[in-house]
């Protein structure tokens, strides 16, 4: 089995403990690689390397345009190796090769976009209300950023953090998920090849409990950018608060996908199926609550079940496969646990409802695409994130009730609205409490468009121009051009 050491200060190194842990292929349920098992000592080494790179050496001497060129080069290298990186991710997280290679082909855009933005961040000259002073602002990098990512889209989620952080002039310690560390360790070779100085980008691998708090509580860390569960996000936010570290948190959701009776039904059926069964439901924006207007409920459900039942399960490396395995054993058990909860809560099982035992699923961690109807929005299956191929169907009467149900939840990441009425599309987009609302589409993202959550779905936004400001702080500079330095006891 190939061994993957971590990457600190421009060198691939073993962990301080010398220990390794297994990375599993979810399609076989067997280990396929070994990754260095870091601890607090490794976290400390990496943060100190990132801090040294931030304060001394070549990185702070580079102009913003030079940083932008490095990011461009990195984007080109990711584009060159997209197929290889996508395949590694599929081996590690079991998501479809078509999905992962599609993502990797798109990832370079984040490096190009933020590379282009690097030298367009300008302060301003303030036309002061006071004579004899010149006042201007500078946007300065925060410092060392810890980027903690989840297993569902490892290098995509990383690009959302790394590209703006580097464009801003920060340095970074990456902590990939323990379930999918390999692609970050391959990716960082491209960072080196692009010519980033040592220490600017570091990767510490290991279990969240071993290295997470050592990174997020480290006094030399200025900011934490995180994608993961709301429970871990809350813990990180508490730790960060103790030393006033900045945070960007993306914490998943329980997104409503709302279909009105004036929608183009076949499009909406495709949107509902892609909302929950694409990526085997392991996506923060999964449309896991399907809200159907009662007049179309039965016919819509019939069409949805007919389509979902054709989904081909199997080897995620095969281009034919449409639904792959669950990424890891704890998540597999969690998904099955929620299916049991839904059954006990009285939701009506329409299809699936357990492990997939089809021969093409082999020894992997597969769950049958599952649909529950008759779900009440108060049930746990409607309120809690499952992060798997489990759909809850909820009936509503009219627009008012759709809005009430959509918003009656502590999450607010995404929402879908399917309607042919343009006025309703605008009204719904205004009233739904979510960071993203899709109208007559679902699960679209772009490097240009801000992404993030309302309510418990997170803090801050990734992608889009403003994302770079989440890695900068503003300084106001006052120059005395002739004002008298008078009475020292009054405010000037
Ligand atoms: O998440 P964790 P897990 C949700 C989804 C899933 C659940 C659990 O509901 O079932 O989270 O998944 C690191 N300090 N999402 O266990 O624990 C950890 O090593 C610092 C939604 O994977 O949040 C990993 O790198 N870091 C989500 C990262 O946090 C810590 C995508 C995420 O792990 C840490 C994935 C600590 N104390 C799961 N503990 C989304 N928003 O899309 C762990 N980590």
* Average pLDDT score over the chain: 97
- CA-nearest of 294, 263, 221 to 421 is 263
Name the H helices within 384-459: 399-407, 422-431
Give the CA diameter of the chain.
86
Q: How many residues does the chain have?
A: 492
Cα(352)–Cα(48) distance, rounded to whole angstroms? 50
**Cα–Cα–Cα angle for 294, 295, 297, rounded to 5 degrees:** 55
Half-sphere exposure of 368 (CA within 13 A, CB side): 18
Q: Which of 240, 211, 235, 220 is nearest to 40 (CA)?
A: 211
* Ligand 1 atom closest to the CA of 251, numbered from 1: 41
Atom of ligand 1 nearest to the CA of 177: 25
Cβ pair 130, 492 in contact under 8 A: yes
- CB count within 10 Å of CB 348 equals 12
Residues in contact with ligand 1 by the CB-under-6-Å rule are: 148-152, 175, 177-178, 208-209, 212-213, 216, 227-229, 232, 235-236, 250-252, 284, 331, 334, 385, 387
Q: Ligand 1 center to residue 61 CA distance, Å?
A: 36
Q: Is 346 left (phi over 0), alpha (psi -120 to 50) or beta?
A: left
**Cα(110) to centroid(ligand 1), Å:** 23
- Alpha helix stretches (DSSP H) within 24-178: 40-55, 64-80, 82-93, 97-106, 108-117, 154-168
Q: Ligand 1 atom 43: the closest Cα is on which residue?
A: 208
pLDDT the model gives residue 486:
86
Gyration radius (Cα) of the chain, Å? 24
Classified by CATH at the fold level, domain 2-251+457-476 comes out as Aldehyde Dehydrogenase; Chain A, domain 1 (3.40.605)
The Cα 163–Cα 178 span in angstroms is 22
Separation of alpha carbons 357 and 380, rounded Å: 26
Which one of 151, 217, 228 would you pick to mutate in the ligand 1 pocket, going by the greatest count of ligand atoms within 8 A of its CB?
228
For ligand 1, what atom is nearest to the CA of residue 213? 14
Rounded Cα–Cα distance for residues 214 and 227 (Å)? 17
Q: What share of the chain is helix, strand, coil (3-state, %, to 5)?
A: 40, 20, 35
222 with 144: CB under 8 angstroms? yes
pLDDT at 452: 98
With H, G, I as helix, E, B as strand and everything else as coil, classify residue 123.
Answer: coil
Q: What is the residue with the minimal CA distance to atom 18 of ligand 1?
A: 208
CB atoms within 10 A of CB 3: 10
Which of these, 461, 394, 453, 400, lies nearest to 256 by C-alpha position? 394
Average the pLDDT over 274-279 and give the result. 95
Q: Name which of 191, 201, 4 is nearest 91 in CA terms.
A: 4
pLDDT reported for residue 408: 98
**Protein residue closest via CA to atom 14 of ligand 1:** 212
Residues 223-247 pLDDT 10s: 999 999 999 999 999 999 999 999 9
DSSP letter assigned to residue 319: T
272 pLDDT band (50/70/90 cuts)?
A: very high
How many C-beta neighbours within 10 Å does residue 209 have? 10
**149 Cα: distance to centroid of ligand 1 (angstroms):** 8
Indicate the top mutation candidate among 208, 210, 247 to test ligand 1's pocket, ranked by most ligand atoms within 8 A of CB. Answer: 208
Q: Rounded to the nearest 10 degrees, what angle do helices 154-168 and 82-93 cross at?
A: 130
What number of other Cβ atoms are within 10 A of residue 231's Cβ?
9
Nearest CA to ligand 1 atom 16: 229
Residue 40 reports pLDDT greater than 90: yes
Model confidence over 247-256: pLDDT tens digits?
999 999 999 9
DSSP string, 189-205: HHHHHHTPPTTSEEE--
Mean pLDDT value across residues 193-213: 98
Q: Please state, for a pLDDT cut of 70, what percent of the chain lies above it.
A: 100
Q: Which atom of ligand 1 is nearest to the CA of 157?
A: 42
Instruction: Find the 444 Cα to ligand 1 centroid distance in Å.
Output: 23
For residues 229 and 253, what is the distance between their CA atoms, to the nearest angstrom?
9
CATH architecture type of domain 256-439: 3-Layer(aba) Sandwich (3.40)
Report in angstroms the alpha-carbon separations of 151 from 95, 155, 328, 492. Answer: 10, 9, 9, 53
**Residues 374-380: what's their mean pLDDT?**
98
Ligand 1 centroid to Cα of residue 282, in Å, is: 12
**Nearest-atom index, ligand 1, CA of 413:** 41
d(CA 371, CA 353): 8
Q: Indicate which atom in ligand 1 lies nearest the CA of residue 178.
A: 19
Question: 353-363: per-residue pLDDT in tens?
Answer: 999 999 999 89
Range(s) of the chain covered by CATH 3.40.605.10: 2-251+457-476
> Is residue 333 a contact partner of residue 300, using CB atoms and an 8 Å limit?
no
Active site residues: 250, 284
State the DSSP H helix or E strand holding residue 36, giving kind and residue range, or none if neither: strand 30-36
Of the chain, the end-to-end C-alpha distance in Å amounts to 68
For residue 227, the CA-to-ligand 1 centroid distance in Å is: 7
Q: Tell me which DSSP letter residue 377 carries.
A: T
CA distances from 25 to 34, 277, 280, 294, 314 (A): 12, 20, 15, 42, 13
CA-closest residue to ligand 1 atom 44: 208
CB–CB of 322/276 below 8 Å? no
Q: From ligand 1's centre to the CA of 207, what distance in Å?
A: 11
pLDDT confidence band for 492 (50 / 70 / 90): confident
- Read off the pLDDT band of 342 (50, 70, 90): very high
How does residue 63 score in pLDDT terms, banded at 50, 70 and 90?
very high
């Amino acid at each position: 089995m190939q061994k993957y050491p971590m990457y600190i200060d421009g060198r691939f190194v073993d962990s301080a403990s010398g220990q390794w842990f297994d990375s599993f292929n979810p399609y076989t349920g067997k280990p396929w690689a070994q990754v260095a098992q870091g601890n607090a000592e490794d976290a400390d080494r990496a943060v100190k390397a990132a801090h040294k790179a931030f304060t001394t050496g070549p990185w702070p001497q580079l102009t913003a345009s030079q940083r932008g060129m490095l990011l461009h080069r990195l984007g080109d290298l990711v584009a060159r190796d997209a197929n290889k990186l996508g395949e590694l991710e599929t081996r590690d997280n079991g998501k479809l090769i078509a999905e992962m290679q599609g993502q990797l082909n798109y990832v370079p855009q984040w490096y190009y976009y933020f590379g282009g933005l690097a030298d367009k961040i300008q302060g301003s000259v303030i036309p002061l209300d006071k004579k004899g002073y010149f006042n201007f602002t500078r946007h300065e990098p925060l410092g060392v950023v810890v980027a903690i990512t989840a297993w569902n889209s490892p290098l995509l989620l990383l690009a959302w953090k790394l590209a703006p952080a580097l464009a801003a002039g920060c340095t970074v310690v990456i902590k990939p998920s323990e379930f999918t560390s390999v692609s970050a360790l391959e990716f960082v070779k491209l960072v080196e090849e692009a010519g980033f100085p040592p220490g600017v980008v570091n990767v510490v691998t290991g279990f969240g409990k071993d290295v997470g708090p050592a990174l997020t509580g480290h006094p030399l860390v200025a900011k934490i950018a995180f994608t993961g569960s709301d429970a871990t996000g809350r813990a990180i936010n508490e730790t960060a608060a103790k030393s006033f570290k900045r945070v960007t948190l993306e914490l998943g959701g329980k997104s409503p996908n709302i279909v009105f009776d004036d929608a183009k039904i076949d499009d909406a059926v495709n949107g509902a199926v892609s909302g929950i069964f694409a990526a085997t439901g392991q996506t923060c924006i999964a449309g896991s609550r399907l809200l159907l207007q009662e007049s179309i409920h039965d016919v819509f459900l019939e069409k949805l079940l007919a389509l979902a039942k054709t989904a081909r399960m199997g080897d995620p490396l095969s281009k034919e496969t449409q639904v792959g395995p669950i990424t890891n054993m704890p998540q597999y058990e969690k998904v099955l646990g929620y299916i049991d909860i839904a059954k006990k809560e009285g939701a009506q099982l329409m299809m699936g409802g357990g492990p997939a035992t089809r021969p093409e699923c082999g020894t992997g961690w597969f769950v049958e695409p599952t649909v529950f109807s008759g779900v009440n929005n108060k049930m746990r299956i409607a309120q809690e994130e499952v992060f798997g191929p489990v759909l809850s169907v909820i009936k509503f009467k009219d627009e008012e009730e759709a809005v009430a149900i959509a918003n009656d939840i502590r999450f607010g990441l995404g929402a879908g609205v399917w309607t042919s009425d343009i006025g309703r599309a605008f009204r719904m987009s205004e009233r739904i409490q979510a960071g993203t609302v899709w109208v007559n589409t679902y699960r679209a993202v772009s490097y240009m468009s801000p992404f993030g959550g309302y309510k418990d779905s997170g803090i801050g936004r990734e992608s889009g121009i403003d994302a770079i400001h989440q890695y900068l702080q503003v300084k106001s500079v006052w120059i005395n051009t002739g004002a008298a330095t008078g009475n020292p006891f009054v405010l000037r």
